[in-house]
């Protein structure tokens, strides 16, 4: 089990941030570097059919050792880390026997990880935590998932007396920018169902996620000297502010939780002549998802009537959908994971994902794919941490799922 920590600490040294603006796959070369590392490890532990394609997708097989047919299970994690926080020069630190108080991440910058801000820390008093140095993310999303899957596969490969069916593993690029399933070869993977190991705290088990879309608005203005601007100047930045004011205040992410969706302004840049706004739209309900997109469209229509045709140009693109409708017909795979957690002495926490995973899109591509916990907290930022015991429990749950499937 200590190998899961060793692997994780090695993987986070490779900066695999994905980049939204780059159109190649993978979007960054270092994802290929991590992929090559994983291919080498998978071969060393004895897996078969190990490959990495030109797009950076890593796949491998642990052959069945049974004399009977059982379902083929897959386990999937992603190699990239979020573009929202630096993944370069990650310096993980082990906090042993955490005492329940503040953790000084960076003395020079006075960066503190505190249970006052993150109360869940107190759940891990007495445990060993892996934290950042306060200047980068940690990368548990999803390098912890990779480490947990490979450690489970190594254990099975080293213990052929443990019965199991055929197991597939895959590691994908660019999940964080919504492209993780773009070139995933479901037929080549050839599993009956799979689990993404891409969740958060201990016990998370998820088979519902947001429906998701992105909106890009380009607002065109007209610039002249401000001394002669009356009835001539059109300030695109002010129209952008007006547009945002037309959206429901209560549907911003900072005011929502559980099944509540949101419209989130992620980026704004511009000048008098032209301003760009970028939003993401999220909701678990198909109907409310459609309503949110309609609100944006109607605000655009209103401003184009007010300021003239083509003042505001909208590009609205659906990203992924709620996998619930694809998982419910095979809900036994969720029940299997739930039972595995219980037998591994982990309390299942079944809740909707307030986000998305590769599994959402893969479920619509014919590969039902619920999501399992990695054990990490505070993903995508400098306050990210992961308890070592939670990582070990994730390995145990993967092994237990395989065991139960083989009975």
The residues annotated as belonging to the active site are: 80, 175
Closest-CA residue to 397 (of 7, 73, 52): 73
CA triple 55-61-65, angle to 5 deg: 175
- Please give the structure tokens belonging to residue 386: 């992961």
- Please give the structure tokens belonging to residue 285: 């309900």
CA gap 49, 153 in Å, rounded: 14
Closest-CA residue to 382 (of 185, 106, 107): 106
The backbone torsions φ and ψ at residue 10, rounded to the nearest 5 degrees and listed phi first, read: -75, -45
- C-beta separation of 136 from 157 below 8 A: no
- C-beta separation of 184 from 57 below 8 A: yes
If one counts every other C-beta atom within 10 angstroms of the C-beta of residue 331, the result is: 13
Residues, the chain: 407
CA gap 211, 282 in Å, rounded: 6
CA gap 402, 264 in Å, rounded: 39
**Measured between alpha carbons, how far apart are the two ends of the chain, in Å?**
24
Q: Is 395 exposed, middle or buried (0-12, 13-18, 19+ CB in 10 A)?
A: buried
- C-beta separation of 206 from 352 below 8 A: yes
Distance (Å) of CA 88 to CA 175, 176, 235, 320 = 18, 16, 38, 29
Helix (H) / strand (E) containing 240? helix 236-245
Closest-CA residue to 52 (of 66, 38, 70): 38
- C-beta separation of 363 from 327 below 8 A: yes
């Amino acid at each position: 089990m200590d190998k899961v920590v060793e692997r994780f600490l090695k993987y986070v040294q490779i900066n695999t941030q994905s980049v939204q603006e780059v159109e190649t796959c993978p979007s960054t070369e270092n994802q290929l570097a991590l992929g090559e590392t994983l291919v080498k490890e998978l071969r060393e532990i004895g897996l078969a059919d190990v490959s990495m394609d030109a797009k950076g997708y890593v796949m491998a097989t642990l052959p069945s050792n049974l004399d009977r047919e059982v379902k083929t299970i897959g386990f999937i994690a992603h190699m990239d880390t979020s573009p929202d926080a630096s993944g370069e020069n990650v310096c993980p630190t082990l906090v042993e026997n955490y005492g329940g108080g503040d953790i000084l991440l960076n003395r020079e910058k006075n960066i503190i990880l505190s249970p006052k801000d993150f109360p869940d820390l107190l759940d891990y008093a007495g445990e060993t935590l892996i934290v950042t140095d306060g200047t980068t993310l940690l990368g548990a999303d999803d390098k912890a998932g990779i480490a947990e899957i490979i450690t489970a596969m190594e254990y099975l490969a080293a213990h052929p007396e443990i019965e199991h069916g055929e197991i597939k593993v895959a590691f994908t690029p660019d999940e964080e920018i919504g492209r993780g399933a773009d070139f995933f070869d479901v037929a080549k993977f050839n599993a009956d169902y799979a689990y993404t190991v891409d969740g958060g705290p201990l016990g998370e088990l998820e088979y519902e996620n947001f429906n998701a879309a992105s909106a890009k608005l380009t607002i065109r203005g007209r610039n002249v000297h401000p001394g002669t601007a009356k009835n001539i100047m059109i300030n695109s930045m002010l129209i952008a502010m007006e547009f945002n004011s037309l959206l429901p205040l209560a549907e911003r992410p900072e005011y929502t939780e559980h099944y509540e969706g949101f419209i989130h302004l992620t980026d704004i840049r511009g000048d008098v002549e032209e301003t760009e706004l970028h939003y993401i739209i999220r909701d678990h309900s198909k109907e409310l998802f459609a309503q949110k997109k309609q609100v944006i469209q109607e605000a655009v229509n209103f401003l184009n009537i007010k300021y003239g045709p083509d003042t505001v140009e909208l590009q609205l693109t659906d990203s992924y959908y709620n996998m619930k409708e694809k998982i419910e017909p095979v809900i036994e795979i969720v029940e299997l994971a739930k039972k595995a957690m219980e037998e591994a002495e982990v309390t299942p926490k079944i809740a909707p994902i307030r986000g998305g995973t590769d599994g959402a899109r893969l479920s619509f591509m014919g590969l039902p794919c619920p999501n399992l916990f990695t054990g990490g907290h505070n993903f995508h930022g400098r306050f990210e941490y992961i308890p070592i015991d939670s990582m070990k429990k994730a390995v145990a749950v993967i092994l237990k799922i395989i065991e139960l499937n083989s009975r």
